[in-house]
């Protein structure tokens, strides 16, 4: 259950990080509300995952999920660069997340 919560926290991190682009500096009401709600859900799920998963592992996996998802959405939604170096770096982050999950004794 803790790992499920951690993945949900990571997904909501992607949502709020991407949502920041749409808030226009928190001057647009509904994108700002959605972003703040996503931030709250992400933090609550992360804090619940901390109960079982070691803090360093959970935080690193959470930021990794958020980073990979945000980069991929940047490529898909905002026409950000998609080149071999960026894709390799994303793969390295995914490998690190998998390694942390595989090394967790819980």
Q: Which residues contact 102 (CB under 8 A, 6 or more apart)?
A: none
CA distance 46 to 59: 8
pTM of this prediction? Answer: 0.90
CA distance 106 to 100: 11
What angle, rounded to 10 degrees, do the helices at 55-78 and 2-23 form? 40
Residue ranges in the chain whose pLDDT is less than 50 = none
CA distance 7 to 17: 15
pLDDT for position 102: 86
């Amino acid at each position: 259950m803790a790992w499920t919560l951690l993945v949900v926290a990571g997904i909501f991190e992607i949502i709020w990080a991407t949502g920041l682009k749409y808030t226009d500096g928190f001057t647009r009401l509904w994108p700002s509300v959605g972003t703040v709600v996503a931030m709250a859900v992400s933090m609550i799920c992360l804090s619940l995952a901390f109960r079982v998963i070691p803090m360093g592992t959970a935080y690193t996996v959470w930021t990794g999920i958020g980073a990979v998802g945000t980069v991929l959405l940047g490529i898909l939604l905002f026409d950000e660069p998609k080149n071999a170096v960026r894709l390799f770096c994303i793969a390295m982050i995914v490998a690190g997340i998998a390694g942390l999950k595989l090394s967790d004794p819980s």
